[in-house]
Structure 1
């Protein structure tokens, strides 16, 4: 699967390496081009996953604020619900197209 914005691949990994959580595909950190992501200070804490880290996605001089996110240190109890440790996995939103 790929996460693409404006024709630029931000993340790519086999579907079996991704994790689906609440309708979003989370890519393993090793599959993400972090050169295209910039951490933001947008605060959010999920009641069952924990503290979220948002990122702006940058491509060709355009920065899309908070279009990617991850959970660097999710609550350990959430691993049972998800079925796997998803620490630092990255999901994408809106203009970032996730396709097979």
Structure 2
């Protein structure tokens, strides 16, 4: 079982993650959506496509752009469609 934890809150919990470039991508259904809010931030990866971000809020604190996902990944990254990954101090393991 892999968990994503930040500020004492479990954000995601799943035994069905896909690891890409060292990052665990969790199924969206395994992520506590109540802890996420949309961000206007995007970034581009040449082989995955355009990433969109979520802020993570736990115990009254906000971790901006701490979660990302590819809503329409390129064919080479099709396996991560519908999945979310974390960084910026979110402990994954």
Which runs of structure 1 show a deviation greater than 6 angstroms over 4 or more consecutive aligned residues?
none
Larger Rg: 1
Task: Summarize the alignment of residues 1-100 of structure 1 with structure 2, pairs less than 5 Å apart.
Answer: 1-14=2-15, 17-79=16-78, 85-99=79-93
RMSD across aligned positions (CA): 1.1
Unaligned runs of 5+ in 2: none
Q: TM-score, normalised by structure 1?
A: 0.86
Unaligned runs of 5+ in 1: 80-84
Partner residue in 2 for 1:82: none
Tell me the number of residue pairs that the alignment of Structure 1 and Structure 2 aligns: 92
Match of 1:30, SS state, is helix
| CA distance in 1: counterparts of 2:54 and 2:74, whole angstroms | 20
Q: TM-score, normalised by structure 2?
A: 0.92
- Which has more strand, going by share of residues? 2
